[in-house]
């Protein structure tokens, strides 16, 4: 099978499995879209062992830094600065997404940014019927209600699914001994 077709087929099969797991048995423990972010990051980072490590480390690091800014925004205020205060906190924390690029595991800055963006987007855009619940009220929870836990698990599993889809595509493109002799 040609490489592109094999990759498309492997991603289709494993993408369906990932969606089934995220929407079914793992519902509430992982997010479909966050897994796909890490999956794509794995491929744009080189689709090899280093890419897997850098994707997991970078997206999880970014999520952690995003979690820190959320904690700061929720627990501190400077009324005189208004909305400039959260903007300053974002500016300070995103500095740490890039400055760490000399560390091999954190050298894929887009991975760091994806993790940061994913946790902040999830936490700020989840409607809550009860103002006492929701991602921003669960930042320190020890459960999957904590956006950091939910995102980190989703990102790690998404990166692993990316690696598995690459391996499956590789297996689909290899010629078997009997067909290699004919070709």
pLDDT 10s digits, 144-167? 999 999 999 999 999 999 999 999
Whether pLDDT at 127 is above 70: no
| Burial (CB count <10 Å: 0-12, 13-18, 19+), residue 75 | exposed
Place of tokens 């692993």: 160
Nearest to 115 by CA among 93, 136, 92: 93
**What's residue 132's pLDDT?**
55
- For the chain, the C-alpha Rg in angstroms (whole number) is 19
CA distance 33 to 158: 9
Whether pLDDT at 52 is above 50: yes
Domain ranges of the chain: 3-174
Using a cut of 0.95, tell me whether the model's pTM lies above it.
no
Percentage of the chain beyond pLDDT 70 is: 91
User: Which residues, in sequence order, are CB contacts of 60 under 8 Å at separation 6+?
Assistant: 115, 152, 155, 156
């Amino acid at each position: 099978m040609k490489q592109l077709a094999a990759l498309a087929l492997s991603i289709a099969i494993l993408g369906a499995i990932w969606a089934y797991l995220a929407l079914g048995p793992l519902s509430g423990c992982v997010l479909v879209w966050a897994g796909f972010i890490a999956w794509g990051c794995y491929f744009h980072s080189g689709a090899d062992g280093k890419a897997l490590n850098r994707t997991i480390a970078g997206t999880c690091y970014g999520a952690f830094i995003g979690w820190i800014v959320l904690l700061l925004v929720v627990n501190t205020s400077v009324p005189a600065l208004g909305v400039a205060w959260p903007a300053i906190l974002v500016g300070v924390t995103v500095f740490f997404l890039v400055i760490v690029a000399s560390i091999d595991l954190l050298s894929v800055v887009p991975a760091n940014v994806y993790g940061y963006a994913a946790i902040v987007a999830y936490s700020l855009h989840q409607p809550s019927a009860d103002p006492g619940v929701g991602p921003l009220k669960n930042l320190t929870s020890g459960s999957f209600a904590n956006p950091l836990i939910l995102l980190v698990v989703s990102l790690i599993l998404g990166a692993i699914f990316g690696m598995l889809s690459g391996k499956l595509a590789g297996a689909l493109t290899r010629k078997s001994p009997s067909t290699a002799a004919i070709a």
